[in-house]
C-alpha cells in the first residue's frame, strides 16, 4: 500500500455556533473562498465537499495546506489519507504511515476520534490501530506514550469516511470573508492601519481601501508604502478585487496650518478624513469606517482627542487595534506580510505640530473649524478622487 495524502481536512470554529441557516450560508461562503485561494495559487483539486463540522478538499497537491490556512474562517487543516470507516482499514493505513513516520526507539500515540453510528468506540479505534502499528514497527523498538509522544497518528472515523493524518496546521480563524458586509478602510503607509484592516477582514468584512494623500506634507514614498500594504491585504482576498480610492487632501492641511491653532492640526485632519470616508462609504453602500487607532499610542489617539475628532460626525467607526500595544501590532504585521512595506524608508508627515494637543475640547475643535470653509475643502478633496489599479 502506498499511502499518499489525497484529501485536506478543514476545521472551522465560530461557524459551528451559528443557527442552521446562518451556518449553511457561512459554510457555502467559506467553500467559495477556499476555491478562490486554490485557484489563485494554481492548485488543482477534484472536489470540495462538506460533512457535519468539516469541509474536505480532494487534492494530492502538497501546496494546498499552506494555501487554505490563509482563508479566514479556517481554524486548522490537515493533509490526510482516506480509508474505509472500519477498524481494519484505519489500522492498515495507520500501520503504513507509522512505518515511515516513527523512527528507531521513538515513542508514538494514536489519537482517535469517531462520529456517527458505529459498532466500536473511539477507545477501540485507538487500541486496534495502536496494536497494528506497534506490530508493524516492532523491529524499531518503539514505545507507546500517550502523554508526550515523539510522533502522533490521528484517526477520524466518520459515518461514511475515514481519515488518517499526522499533522495539524493552524489557520487564521475568524469568519469567512464576505459574510459581514463591506467597510471603508483608511490605509496609510504605516504599520497600524493595514493591520486594523486585516483584523476586520478576519472578522468577515470586505474592505474598500482609501488612501488620503497629503502631499506636499508627505512624499511619494508614503504613497508607495500604502499601496504595497494594500497589495498584501489583497492577497488575503483572492478573486475579490479591491476598489481602491486615493484622495488628494493637501489643500485641507494647508488651510488648517494657515488659519487654525497648530496644536489641533492632526485632529482637524482626522475629522476631514472621516468626512471623506463617510462620502465614500455612502457611495459604496458600505457599513462602517476602519481606522488604525490604538488608545494612547500617539497624541491624537488619547481618549479626549478621539472623542473630539468624531464629535458631530455621524458614522460607525471601528478601531480594532484600540486595546493593542505596539509590540502586538508589529507581531501581527510581521505575520500577515504588511510589516516590510510599512517600515521602508520614508518621510513622516511634515504638518504634525511640535506640541500637539492631547486633551482637546469639542468646543475648541468646533471653534477652529469655524475659521475655515469645511464644506468647500471637502468638496475640493472629493472632486479629485482617483481610483487606483493595483496591477
What pLDDT score does 322 carry?
97
Same domain, 14 and 141: yes
- Digit-by-digit pLDDT tens for the chain (391 residues) are 457 789 999 999 999 889 999 999 999 999 999 999 999 999 999 999 998 889 999 999 999 999 999 999 999 999 999 999 999 999 999 999 999 999 999 999 999 999 989 999 999 999 999 999 999 999 999 999 999 999 999 999 998 899 999 999 999 999 999 999 999 999 998 999 999 999 999 999 999 999 999 999 998 999 999 999 999 999 999 999 999 999 999 999 999 999 999 999 999 999 999 999 999 999 999 999 999 999 998 888 999 999 999 999 999 999 999 999 999 999 999 999 999 999 998 888 889 998 999 999 999 999 999 999 999 999 999 998 999 988 7
Query: H or E segment at 369?
Result: helix 362-369
| Last residue of one domain, picked from the residues 137, 170, 203 | 170
Beta pairing class for 107-114 and 74-83: unpaired
Long-range contacts formed by 139-143: CB under 8 A, 24+ apart: 140/102, 140/103, 140/104, 140/105, 140/106, 141/104, 141/105, 142/102, 142/105, 142/106, 142/107, 142/108, 143/105, 143/106, 143/107, 143/108
Q: Considering the domain boundaries, does residue 176 fall inside one?
A: no
One domain for residues 209 and 68: no
- Asked whether residue 277 is assigned to any structural domain, the reply reads yes
Say if CB 206 and CB 286 are below 8 A apart: no
Same structural domain, 31 and 88: yes
| CA pair distance 125, 130, nearest whole angstrom | 8
| CATH code where residue 238 lies | 3.40.50.620
Does 211 lie in the same domain as 150? no
Residues 97-133 as b/e (b if ≥16 CB within 10 A, e otherwise) read bbeebbeeebbbbbbbebeeebeeebeebbbbbbebb
Residue 175 counted as domain residue = no
Which of 139, 170, 201 is a domain's end point? 170
Burial (Cβ within 10 Å: 0-12, 13-18, ≥19) of residue 60:
middle
Residue 1 lies in a domain: no
DSSP letter for each residue of 139-190: GG--EE-SSS-SEEEEEEE-SS-EEEES--EE---S--TTSS-EEEEE--SS
166 shares its domain with 230: no
300 with 161, same domain: the answer is no
Q: Are residues 354 and 302 in the same domain?
A: yes
Per-residue model confidence (pLDDT) at position 189: 86
Extract the C-alpha cell encoding 296: 494612547
Q: How many structural domains comprise the chain?
A: 2
Residues 49 and 121 in one domain: yes
Note down the domain range covering 91: 7-170
Is residue 207 in some structural domain? yes
Q: Does a structural domain hold residue 2?
A: no
- Residue 225: inside a domain: yes
Domain stop point among 135, 170, 205:
170
CATH code (residue 87): 3.30.2130.30
Structure confidence at residue 74 (pLDDT): 97
240 and 91, same domain (yes or no)? no
Same domain membership, residue 226 and residue 80:
no
Give the pLDDT of residue 391. 72
pLDDT value for 2: 58
- CA neighbours within 13 Å on the CB side: how many for 101? 25
**209-225: pLDDT as tens digits:** 999 999 999 989 999 99
First to last CA, the chain: 47
Asked whether residue 12 falls in the same domain as residue 96, the answer is yes
- Is residue 163 located within the same domain as residue 202? no
Amino acid at each position: 500500500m502506498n499511502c499518499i495524502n489525497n484529501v485536506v481536512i478543514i476545521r472551522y470554529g465560530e461557524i459551528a455556533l451559528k443557527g442552521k441557516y446562518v451556518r449553511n450560508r457561512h459554510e457555502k461562503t467559506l467553500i467559495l473562498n477556499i476555491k478562490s485561494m486554490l485557484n489563485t495559487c494554481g492548485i488543482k483539486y477534484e472536489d470540495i465537499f462538506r460533512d457535519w463540522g468539516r469541509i474536505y478538499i480532494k487534492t494530492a497537491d502538497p501546496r494546498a495546506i499552506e494555501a487554505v490556512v490563509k482563508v479566514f474562517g479556517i481554524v486548522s487543516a490537515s493533509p490526510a489519507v482516506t480509508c474505509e470507516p472500519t477498524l481494519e482499514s484505519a489500522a492498515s493505513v495507520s500501520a503504513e504511515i507509522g512505518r515511515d513516520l516513527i523512527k528507531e526507539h521513538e515513542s508514538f500515540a494514536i489519537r482517535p476520534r469517531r462520529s456517527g453510528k458505529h459498532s466500536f468506540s473511539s477507545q477501540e479505534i485507538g487500541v486496534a490501530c495502536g496494536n497494528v502499528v506497534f506490530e508493524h514497527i516492532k523491529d524499531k523498538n518503539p514505545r507507546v506514550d500517550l502523554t508526550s509522544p515523539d510522533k502522533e497518528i490521528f484517526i477520524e472515523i466518520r459515518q461514511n469516511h475515514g481519515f488518517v493524518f499526522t499533522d495539524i496546521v493552524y489557520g487564521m480563524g475568524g469568519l469567512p470573508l464576505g459574510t459581514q458586509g463591506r467597510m471603508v478602510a483608511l490605509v496609510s503607509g504605516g504599520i497600524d492601519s493595514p493591520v486594523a484592516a486585516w483584523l476586520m477582514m478576519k472578522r468577515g468584512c470586505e474592505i474598500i481601501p482609501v488612501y488620503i494623500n497629503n502631499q506636499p506634507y508627505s512624499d511619494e514614498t508614503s504613497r508607495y508604502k500604502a499601496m504595497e500594504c494594500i497589495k498584501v491585504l489583497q492577497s488575503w482576498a483572492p478573486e475579490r478585487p479591491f476598489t481602491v480610492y486615493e484622495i488628494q487632501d493637501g489643500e485641507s492641511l494647508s488651510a488648517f496650518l494657515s488659519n487654525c491653532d497648530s496644536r489641533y492640526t492632526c485632529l482637524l485632519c482626522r475629522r476631514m478624513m472621516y468626512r471623506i470616508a463617510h462620502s465614500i462609504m455612502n457611495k459604496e453602500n458600505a457599513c462602517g469606517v476602519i481606522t488604525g487607532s490604538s488608545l494612547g499610542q500617539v497624541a491624537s489617539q488619547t481618549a479626549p482627542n478621539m472623542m473630539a475628532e468624531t464629535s458631530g460626525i455621524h458614522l460607525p467607526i471601528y478601531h480594532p487595534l484600540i486595546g493593542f500595544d505596539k509590540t502586538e501590532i508589529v507581531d501581527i504585521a510581521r505575520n500577515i506580510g504588511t510589516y516590510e512595506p510599512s517600515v521602508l524608508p520614508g518621510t513622516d508627515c511634515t504638518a504634525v505640530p511640535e506640541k500637539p494637543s492631547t486633551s482637546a475640547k469639542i468646543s475648541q475643535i468646533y471653534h477652529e473649524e469655524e475659521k475655515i470653509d469645511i464644506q468647500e475643502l471637502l468638496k475640493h478633496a472629493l472632486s479629485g478622487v482617483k481610483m487606483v489599479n493595483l496591477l
